[in-house]
Amino acid sequence: MESGGGYGRELDLAVKVVQMACSLCQRVQEGLVGRKGDQIQSKDDNSPVTVADWGVQATDDAAGLLESVVSAVNGCLIEAPRYGLNGPQRTLGTSEVLDAIRRCNSNGGPEGRYWVLDPVDGTLGFVRGDQYAVALALIEDGEVVLGVLGCPNYPMKKEWLNYHQRYYRLMSKLSPPTSGSWNKGCVMYAQRGTGEAWMQPLVHDCGKFDWKQAARKIQVSSIDDPAFATFCEPVEKANSSHSFTAGLAHSVGLRNQPLRVYSMVKYAAIARGDAEIFMKFARAGYKEKIWDHAAGVLIIHEAGGVVTDAGGHPLDFSKGLYLEGLDRGIIACSGAALHEKIIKAVDASWDSSGL
């Protein structure tokens, strides 16, 4: 990986932090299998939030959850030196962990530099042992300049996508890969304006494993004929219209079955050429949050793809916590030619959609 443009230090740090956060999430996820109970709470919109959400972000008044969060955070920080990071000299107390979480309170906007974090993007996928992501992006003066996506259950090798995740986890436990050949998960990242996006294996000891040497450049698929393209859409119907995307897929001649994936892993799939199209058309009243898209959008752009709203306008990350002013929905494609065909199909189908 080549670092340039003055963000090399920040990118190096961000990748290490996401690597370590993925390790924390994997431990919590393993503990969730078969027993969910107090490990899972609900957000205001009834979507689940787990110990991993709070642990990576490192509120709730429940003593059991709080104790679990503090324990998870300290367990992760002990391993910081293994990732080339400086950990605290002592175990953190409850108040210190809560203070760290409370500092994550920027309202975003068009000025200044701030990090945007989704500690567990795709919490339902996380709970179900399926796909989820740790997403971290750096925004400067309203522009996304760095993006890192940690995908703990998204294998380096595309062939593994043909297997069910639980089967893959079982095989990994029976025959654990060494750190030098780890292929269960991956981390993708990019820097604005470089025209390059990278992927490295998910590792558990960056001190012994040179992740820069293991990184490989990724790029979007060259397929521009909808008949041969694969499109992604959200698994859950709560905040998106599957019926419209299905109708749209039919109208443009998409023949492949849709790839329904939790979280920003959809962006990862397009960035490295596993799929060509991602479409999301939110139901009325739903507002897209910047942390659900920032890292993935940048990685696709630098890998050669295109992401806009349904009117062809770039997504605007300068308006605060939400993507304000979206024209109907979000469309990500592996290239400009395919993107133009999808935009035209949306225009032709929209009036009769009822959205």
Annotated binding site for Mg(2+): 118, 121, 292
Can you name the residues that pair with 322 across neighbouring β-strands? 289
Compute how many other C-beta atoms are within 10 angstroms of the C-beta atom of residue 263. 29
Active site residue 316: no
Helix (H) or strand (E) holding 279: strand 277-280
Rounded to 5 degrees, φ, ψ at 161 are -65, -15
DSSP 289: B
Which two tokens mark 108? 């975003």
d(CA 133, CA 335): 24
Residue position matching structure tokens 């793809």: 305
* Neighbouring C-alpha atoms within 13 Å toward the C-beta of 195: 0
| Rounded Cα gap, residues 199 and 217, in angstroms | 6
- Of the residues 44, 45, 50, 53, which is catalytic? 53
The binding site comprises 118, 121, 292
Paired residues of 144 in beta bridges: 139
Query: Quick one: which of 307, 312, 299, 296 has its CA closest to 333?
Result: 307
Contact (Cβ atoms closer than 8 angstroms) between residue 196 and residue 189? no
- Collect all residues with Cβ–Cβ distance below 8 Å to 14 and sequence separation of at least 6: 136, 138, 146, 148, 189
CA 218/CA 194 separation, integer angstroms: 13
- Report whether 345 contacts 277 (CB < 8 A): no
DSSP 145: E
Tokens (6 digits) for 81: 């030196």
Residue 53 designated active-site: yes
Selected catalytic residue, list 123, 230, 245, 308: 123
Catalytic (active-site) positions: 53, 123
